[in-house]
A and B are shown apart, each in its own frame.
Chain A
Amino acid sequence: MVEYAIIADKLTKKFGDFVADNAISLKVKKGEIFGILGPNGAGKTTLISMLTTLLKPTSGSAKLMGKDVIKDQLAVRKMIGVITEKVTMYPPLTAEENLMFFGRLYGIEKAELKKRITAGLEEFQLTKFRNRQVGTFSLGMKRRLDIVRVLLNDPQVFFLDEPTVGLDPITVAFIKKRIKEINKRGKTIILTTHIMQDADELSDRVALIDHGNLMACDVQSKLKRKLGKHATLEDVFIHYAGEQLRDETQKMEMAPRRGM
């Protein structure tokens, strides 16, 4: 029997008259890497925000590892690790202070936390920067530290929003390798990215969202086969999203972040 990490049932989010996500239903299997693709303003961020308890759906429901994302927010948060496009560390604090702060919020005991921090920094080659202020870090270092942060709590489901954007190829390769390793430990990974190559390489299945609707959801090979023998994931993306530029994206992307 297939076990699901995420079950979303007709998840809908409206901002006034604007429908950011329209009755999206999907299931993500435990231990898979699931890519969510779509043009800017398609509704990806809103969907992730609802699944991670940041936004309350207008209607519909969702369960993460069996816990309701609306009714059992704290339990859901204990099981997820979220990397957003923007690095979420306090620049004046050192790497260790940042990790201690977030780790303590997860209720991890100080001694245990110190051990995990040491191991995490070692794994991501940041040990010698342990006591340096994060404000002095390069983007690649910050991104690596961000991953150490979400690993502290040993979450079951990872949400990675554009984890490799703006990084040099060496760091990108390093992070992709780590994502695969994390997945091998049995963790579920939800990946949103505009880099089709990354999505294709890393994901077991992908979902394509546009204008708040779920346009397709399947393994990449099946989606590509429908378009022809030599079709790429980018062809699939353009097939569903079209070639029209999205000038309204800023308005649509900003909408879910109101009030936060």
Chain B
Amino acid sequence: MIAKSIMDAFIVAKRDLIELYRTPLRLAMMFVFPILIIMLFGFMFPSTSSFNGVHIGIVNNDSGFTLNGQVTYLSSSFIPLIKYNSSISLVNYTSLNSAELALKDGTIDSVVYIPPNFSSSVIAGKPASITLVTNPTSPTLQEYTDEKVSFASSILSAEILNGTVAKLNSELVNLPKLDPQFIVSPLVVNSTPLIPGNYFDFIGPGLIMLLSMMAGLTALGSALSREKEEGTITAVMLSPIRTGSFLSGKMLSQLVRSLIQAGVVIILVILLFHMSFRGNILLTALILILGIFGFLGLGLLVTALTKDQETSQLLLNLVFFPMLFLSGVLYPLQELPKFIADIARFLPLTYGVSAFRQVIVFNASISAVWPSLLILFLFGAVSLSIAVPVFLIKKGN
């Protein structure tokens, strides 16, 4: 009896996979959709170095300083530095008011105001100030322009300091010479990444794990709905197959296709976006399997409780979107407000994403990730132990 049940599950799984193979569009979308999602998110949440079409308004009121009868403007050294290594466009304005109006109507993205005493203050040995007016409705753009203007400011400051220190050193007799860097910052922090990597190392594993969750959530729902719509579930249920074998077969086929999907997507993300992959393949597969398993029960429960695919999809969205935004897929939990981060710790995907990332990027071993895997397994086991009886009761009605 057990052998028949296992065999039946394999027969159902094989049939599902043949059907998938015979449906080229579904097969293609299995790979195209994840790559598209990873591309979109990967380029949508980039490092601040890839902004395009940024316009900065310049209000240059610098009146310069006179040396040996010649007027020199420090601002003329400062302004080109803002554009350094970027595609930023600079737009000149005659007054701060007109520049602010342009910022309000969206013509430009921020304003750099250089006051009349900019050069003369520096020559007089006093700090000169530059004002950066930004658009508060775009925090990432605000951060980007702030970074660019600060960079320009630090370069010019270093040049000014070099000149000042050189002058000072020439006047110091019998004393150790000063290093300009020491005056700027006596303590230096060297930030070194543990391993080389890029943003796709963060978002790639997160999104692949998210796709596994989606596969788990929607696997049984969409498969059963399709069978209901085509009437084939009736024929299957009229044959001598146990409901458990039928469901196991459906889950098995979903596991196989999800593993194939994840494998192909991982290879494509490595080739196209240079995502790191240092993990053990078996451990990677185990996490993916547990990621799918963890959500099968929840998907089945929703399917059992809803009459049609549309309603179940609406309910599944309630699960999907919080998981997408709160489980560390797109940004680290540390970026979330504390109470939301606390909620995120109750979401099983949080553990799946974290374990998957650790294994893929840092080659973590099972001893490092087993607590996360246990949580996924327990969540799956508990939700299935609730969902299967509910499904059977609903079926028998």
Contact = CB atoms under 8 A, between A and B. Distances in A.
A90 B19 contact: yes
Interface string A44-63: 00000000111110000000
Contacts of B376: none
A103 to B, nearest CB: 9
Given A258-B394, A258-B397, A93 B19 contact: yes
Given A84-B231, A89-B232, A107-B240, A259 B19 contact: no
Interface stretch (A34-42, A74-82, A228-236): A74-82
Given A102-B239, A258-B397, A88 B15 contact: no
Contacts, number: 83
Given A78-B240, A92-B23, A259 B232 contact: no
Contacts of A55: 396-397
Q: Describe B's contact surface by its main secondary structure.
A: helix
B8 interface: yes
Nearest to A79: B240
Nearest to A13: B397
A131 B395 CA distance: 34
A74 B397 contact: no
B242 interface: yes
A2 interface: no
Contact of A90 (B8, B232, B239): B232
Given A56-B396, A259-B304, A77 B232 contact: no
Interface residues of B, number: 30
Nearest to A105: B239
B230 A91 contact: yes
A74 B395 contact: no
The listed residue with most A CB atoms (<10 A of its CB), out of B4, B7, B236, B397, is: B397
B12 to A, nearest CB: 8
B396 A259 contact: yes
Contacts of A89: 232, 235
A86 B233 CA distance: 11
A123 to B, nearest CB: 20
A56 B240 CA distance: 16
Q: Describe A's contact surface by its main secondary structure.
A: loop
Contacts of B238: 52-54, 77, 80, 82
A33 to B, nearest CB: 20
Contacts of A105: 8, 11, 236, 239-241
Contacts of B396: 55-56, 259
The listed residue with most B CB atoms (<10 A of its CB), out of A54, A93, A102, A105, is: A105
Contacts of A77: 238-240
B234 interface: yes
Nearest to B242: A74
A133 B22 contact: yes
B397 A106 contact: no
A260 B22 contact: no
Interface in B219-259: 228, 230-242
Interface string A185-220: 000000000000000000000000000000000000
A120 to B, nearest CB: 16
Interface string B7-31: 1100100010011001100000000
A107 B240 CA distance: 9
Given A54-B234, A93-B22, A258 B239 contact: no
B338 interface: no
Contacts of A54: 234, 237-238
A86 B393 CA distance: 24
Contacts of A260: 228, 233-234, 237, 395
B167 interface: no
B126 interface: no
Contacts of A87: 231
B395 A259 contact: yes
A74 B230 contact: no
A101 interface: yes
Contacts of A93: 15, 18-19, 22
Interface in B264-295: none
A259 B303 CA distance: 9
A149 interface: yes
A104 interface: yes
B246 to A, nearest CB: 9
A162 interface: no
Nearest to B237: A54
A207 to B, nearest CB: 21
Interface in B343-397: 393-397
A118 B6 CA distance: 27
Nearest to A135: B22
A52 B236 CA distance: 12
Given A84-B234, A106-B240, A259 B394 contact: yes
Contacts of B18: 92-93, 97
B192 to A, nearest CB: 54
The listed residue with most A CB atoms (<10 A of its CB), out of B8, B242, B396, is: B396
Contacts of B304: 259
A16 B326 CA distance: 41
Given A101-B11, A259-B304, A259-B396, A88 B23 contact: no
12 contacts: A56-B397, A77-B239, A80-B238, A88-B234, A93-B18, A93-B22, A104-B7, A107-B4, A259-B393, A259-B396, A260-B234, A260-B237
**10 smallest A-B Cβ distances: which pairs?**
A259-B394, A88-B235, A86-B231, A92-B22, A105-B239, A77-B240, A56-B396, A74-B240, A101-B15, A104-B11
Given A56-B396, A104-B7, 6 more contacts: A15-B397, A55-B396, A84-B235, A86-B230, A107-B4, A260-B395
